[in-house]
């Protein structure tokens, strides 16, 4: 199996590398991910995608959730194929609807894409499959969409800027069911000399002799710009899961049908990794190689080694965890928690966190109820456990979910919280009227006030600023009186008040991510403000951040801003309220939500200003009639100082050079 390989290699050759000029022209690229970890800083996750046990999931892992899920991930650095390059990629994936109640339901499937757009500027994603607006894609489609002339709900197709495929084939011709849930390996080859794109599929790791899909097509005009490559998927209100187990890619100036004359003028720089116990090698083929380059390579290797030793030194056993854990209310006994959750019985599951499952725990001796979060047995689960424990243990606020204690025994990582009887905000907000009481306007106002109050506390009143990074209605819990409590700090980051943000792996949920965070991976208090603005609009409108209307995906921010531009913003109010709200108060909430969700982070208010406006202690902000649009541009670092800075931040993606507001 590809998953068992021990090496990941990224090679760029030949590569013009001028440190003084900051100019780079990549002419051939290759990389190989036998599996994925959070150490893979040259990939970016978007939307609902996530990493777990070495596998990338593209759509939400929560079962039986009646909502659409969209996710994508891509290789950070755009590749330059130009009109003389061929390319080849191999990946192993699986698609599984996992819906026992409706086994015939299906999502949209997944797609491998090449696009000049890295998806950050195209939210909401306008197409099914989560594709950007401009793309070359091979779709593995599991839904019959008559508007796109799909032949059936199990087909592979080539698509260019539209979901009307140039050509499709049914994998059942080779006895392959895309929705079987079994791992499927795909090989995609494009020959520039023959203008031929071929797709092979197999349940095994051996490539079949004949392709499933062959298309004669000249792609040269689509390869003239640097392209981002990756995968995307969507569910279309089903529980279809999409997983990528491994991925390799290579391009060459030579045709893959004639693979001789391969250049070997490359340099390999090794980065030791003390956690996963295998080598990581990054090869850079250099045409202009001088003393400056060797110095830069030396700096990268030293910084990479120091970072990895410090970052991943030892969190593998109970003793190491106990040495790290800070003071908490109490340490629970494992037997006590096991008994209280009926041995973690599925009937006690009340929710899912970033990397864990939440159980209702009933303590018979005291008659009390708590929520127990059980972290998954993975490296990411351990990291989230520590992050959540370290951060939330020292926080106290009436609108935070209170931590009662923790337990590290029998290989388990458990956190114990106050139990919230009304569950998460999204479940209450979108509950059908016949299944429960509608959330009243007064309760909604109280919720946005409470959430604003706790964010002021996290951003400005703690010793270190806390950036939550995953503010959404699913992480806002409601107590017995429907008061909001912010939870799930597994993705949260601490930041000194006087320090600039550092780059990190983009994480969060589609529809709540600020555009600059998606583009550059720098989480700040203003990225939290953006997410809060989306939640505020959800509460006022009773609509989800991204919803499907026919064949289109509609973004809540765009929809409300469109009504505002027409002077009809009050029409965005939740129709289920039947007008039972203060019109001016509703207008203020909608406009404040747009202010917080402004694409330009500099124009967003601080959470303190938001709270003052809600409390009528400050004047409302002026919201432009037309939603501002952003243009990002990027380049390689221009100086050795910038290169060293990027290495210290352990982020190999492009650095921010310019943001323009139109």
- Closest among 207, 227, 299 to 641, alpha carbons compared: 299
Half-sphere exposure of 374 (CA within 13 A, CB side): 22
Q: At residue 645, what are phi and psi to the nearest 5 degrees?
A: -60, -45
CA distance 587 to 591: 6
Tell me if 373 is assigned to a ligand binding site.
Answer: yes
- Closest among 618, 610, 566, 558 to 589, alpha carbons compared: 610
Evaluate whether 359 touches 348 at the Cβ level (below 8 Å). Answer: yes
Evaluate whether 333 touches 339 at the Cβ level (below 8 Å). Answer: no
CA distance 419 to 341: 13
Residue 389: how many CB atoms within 10 A of its CB? 24
Angle at 489 between CA 42 and CA 52, to 5 degrees: 45
Q: At residue 73, what are phi and psi to the nearest 5 degrees?
A: -150, 150
Based on the residue annotation, tell me whether 279 is a catalytic residue of this protein.
no
Q: What is the CA radius of gyration of the chain?
A: 25
- Given 48, 141, 150, 470, which residue is catalytic? 470
Residue 162: how many CB atoms within 10 A of its CB? 12
CA distance 171 to 155: 6
Evaluate whether 489 touches 385 at the Cβ level (below 8 Å). Answer: no
Torsion angle, CA of 539/540/542/548, rounded to 10 degrees? -100
Which residues contact residue 343 at a Cβ distance below 8 angstroms, ignoring those fewer than 6 apart?
none
CA distance 626 to 423: 37
The residues facing 227 across adjacent strands are 79
Evaluate whether 7 touches 34 at the Cβ level (below 8 Å). Answer: yes
Positive or negative, the Cα torsion across 618, 487, 475, 485? negative
CA distance 364 to 379: 33
- Closest among 41, 36, 47, 224 to 120, alpha carbons compared: 47
Structure tokens at 601: 């982070």
CA distance 48 to 70: 6
> According to the 3-state scheme, what is the secondary structure of 239-296?
CCEEEEEEEEEEEECCCCCCCCCCCCCEEEEEECCCCCCCCEEEEEEECCCCHHHHHH
Which residues contact residue 516 at a Cβ distance below 8 angstroms, ignoring those fewer than 6 apart?
522, 527, 601, 630, 632, 656, 659
CA distance 261 to 426: 58
CA distance 403 to 468: 16
Q: What is the DSSP string of 93-131?
A: EEEE---SS-TT----EEEEEEESS-STTSPSP-SGGG-
CA distance 472 to 533: 10
What residues are annotated to the active site? 470
Mark the binding-site residues for ATP, compressed into ranges: 373
Mark the binding-site residues, compressed into ranges: 373
């Amino acid at each position: 199996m590809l998953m068992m390989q021990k090496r990941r290699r990224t090679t760029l050759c030949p590569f013009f590398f001028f440190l003084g000029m900051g100019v780079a022209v990549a002419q051939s690229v290759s990389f190989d991910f036998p599996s994925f970890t959070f150490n893979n800083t040259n990939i970016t996750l978007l939307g609902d995608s996530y990493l777990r046990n070495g596998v990338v999931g593209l759509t939400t892992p929560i079962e039986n959730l009646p909502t659409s899920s969209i996710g994508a991930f891509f290789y950070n650095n755009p590749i330059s194929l130009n009109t003389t390059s061929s390319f080849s990629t191999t990946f192993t994936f699986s698609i599984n609807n996992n819906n026992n109640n409706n086994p015939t339901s299906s999502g949209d499937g997944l797609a491998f894409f090449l696009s000049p757009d890295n998806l950050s500027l195209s939210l909401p994603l306008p197409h099914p499959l989560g594709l950007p607006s401009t793309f070359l894609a091979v779709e593995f489609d599991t839904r019959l969409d008559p508007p796109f002339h799909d032949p059936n709900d199990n087909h592979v197709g080539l698509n260019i800027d539209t979901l009307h495929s140039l050509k499709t084939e049914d994998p059942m011709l080779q006895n392959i069911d895309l929705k079987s849930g079994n791992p499927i390996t795909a090989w995609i080859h494009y020959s520039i000399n023959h203008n031929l794109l071929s797709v092979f599929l197999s349940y095994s790791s051996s490539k079949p002799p004949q392709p499933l899909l062959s298309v004669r097509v000249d792609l040269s005009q689509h390869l003239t710009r640097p392209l981002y490559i990756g995968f995307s998927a969507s569910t279309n209100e089903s529980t279809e899961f999409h997983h990528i187990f491994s991925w390799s890619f290579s391009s060459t100036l030579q045709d893959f049908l004639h693979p001789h004359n391969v250049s070997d003028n490359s340099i390999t720089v090794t980065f030791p990794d003390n956690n996963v116990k295998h080598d990581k090698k990054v090869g850079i083929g250099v045409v202009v190689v001088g003393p400056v380059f060797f110095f830069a390579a030396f700096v990268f290797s030293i910084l990479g080694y120091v970072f990895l030793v410090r970052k991943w030194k030892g969190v593998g056993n109970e003793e190491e965890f106990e040495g790290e854990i800070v003071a908490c209310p109490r340490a629970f006994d494992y037997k006590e928690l096991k008994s209280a959750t009926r041995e973690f019985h599925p009937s006690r599951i009340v929710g899912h966190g970033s990397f864990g499952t939440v159980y209702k725990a009933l303590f018979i001796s005291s008659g009390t109820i708590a929520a127990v979060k059980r972290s998954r047995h993975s490296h990411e689960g351990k990291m989230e456990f520590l992050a959540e424990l370290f951060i939330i243990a020292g926080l106290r606020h009436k609108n935070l979910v209170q931590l009662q204690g923790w337990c590290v025994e029998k290989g388990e990582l458990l956190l114990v919280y106050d139990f919230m009887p009304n569950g998460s905000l999204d479940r209450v907000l979108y509950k059908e009227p016949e299944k429960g009481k509608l959330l009243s306007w007064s309760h909604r106002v109280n919720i946005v006030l409470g959430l604003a109050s706790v964010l002021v506390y996290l951003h400005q009143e703690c010793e270190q600023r806390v950036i939550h990074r995953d503010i959404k209605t699913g992480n806002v819990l409601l107590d017995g009186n429907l008061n909001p409590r912010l939870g799930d700090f597994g993705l949260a980051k601490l930041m000194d008040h006087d320090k600039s943000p550092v780059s990190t792996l983009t994480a969060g949920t589609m529809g709540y991510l600020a555009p600059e965070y998606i583009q550059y991976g720098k989480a700040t208090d203003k990225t939290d403000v953006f997410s809060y603005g989306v939640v505020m609009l959800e509460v006022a409108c009773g609509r989800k951040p991204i919803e499907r209307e026919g064949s289109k995906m509609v973004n809540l921010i765009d929809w409300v801003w469109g009504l505002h531009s027409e002077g009809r913003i009050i029409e965005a109010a939740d129709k289920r309220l039947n007008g039972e709200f203060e019109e001016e108060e509703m207008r203020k909430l909608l406009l404040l939500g747009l202010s917080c969700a402004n694409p330009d982070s500099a124009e967003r208010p601080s959470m303190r200003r938001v709270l003052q406006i809600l409390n009528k202690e400050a004047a409302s902000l002026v919201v432009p009639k037309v939603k501002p649009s952003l243009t990002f541009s990027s380049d390689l670092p221009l100086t050795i100082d910038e290169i060293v800075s990027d290495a210290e931040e352990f982020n190999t993606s492009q650095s921010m050079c310019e943001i323009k507001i139109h």
